[in-house]
Structures are given as C-alpha cells and as structure tokens.
Amino acid sequence: MLTDRARKLLMMAADSGATQDIVRQAARDFIDASHGADAGDVNTALGILGGAYCLPYTDHVLLALASAGALVERGADATPLVAPVTEFLQRVTPLAADFHDACTAQAPADVDDEDAAFRQMADRLRSNMPSAAEAWHALEELYCPVIAVLHRHLRHVRSTAQSHSR
C-alpha cells in the first residue's frame, strides 16, 4: 500500500501537467499510508521516492522529497535516499559551480549588495546557461532535504558503529 502511494506520488511529481493540488493530495495520501507501515515498506517507499532526485526540479519534486523527508524526520532509515542524493550532488554540483563562477566573474567588484549583484547576473546568464542555471536552482532549493538525509544517515552509521564496538 505505501509503495503504491510512493509510486503515485513520484508519478505525479514527474507530471508537468499535474496541478499542485493533485500532487499535494498524493503527498497527503503517502503520509497517511505511512502511519503504521513496517520498516521494510518504508525503506522500499523511500527508495521509490529517491527517484525524484533524478527529475528536473519543480515544486512537485520538492513536495515529493519533503514527503520522503517527513518519514526520515519521524525516524525512518535514510539509507534508501543516500545513493539518489549522492548521484544528484554529483550531477548538479559541477554545473551549479560553473553557473556561480560565471555570475561572480561578471559581477562588478565594487558593489554594495553582493547578493543583489549575483541575482542580477544570474537573471542575465540564465538563458545562456540553462542547464547550469537549472542545476544552481535545484541545488539552492534542495539543499535542506539533501543535508537532512546525509545528516540522518551519518547519525545512523555512527550509532550502528558504536553499538557494534561494545
């Protein structure tokens, strides 16, 4: 049941024609189905939702990943999300760094508001560097879920290592 809800939520997140209300309902259905689910079902569902890290960034993707994050925040093992997060970072970080470098290289050195100057350069360069701009935006929007997954996983690994060393 939970895995079916995860598949539906991922499918809705991938559907550019889906309305935010439809995706939000799929997320609610997923969260509702997660209550009382066993750890195996939760792990499988998180593995399915990890597929959202491969999708082009949209608000739908953020909603799907926030739903996965809600389970991790409730204590689910983040391990099924670690590989998709790592692959996401490997894919977008070089492009985002290129975009950042291009924006900062064109920003005047003597500006009062560096953030505003960066945003202005980003707006100018977005059409010239669409893939890099999308990578920058995705990383900017998804860094919280990424950090949460990696932090939770690291805590789990440390806890497991400590219990084995006793």
Alpha carbon distance 41, 145 (integer Å): 21
**What Rg value do the Cα atoms of the chain yield, rounded?**
18
What integer is the mean pLDDT of 112-116?
Answer: 87
Number of domains in the chain: 1
Mean pLDDT of the chain: 92
Range in 43-47, 68-72, 129-133 with the lowest mean pLDDT: 68-72
Q: How confident is the model at residue 108 (pLDDT cuts 50, 70, 90)?
A: confident
pLDDT of residue 127: 94
pTM of the model: 0.83
Residue 34 sits in which domain range?
Answer: 2-164
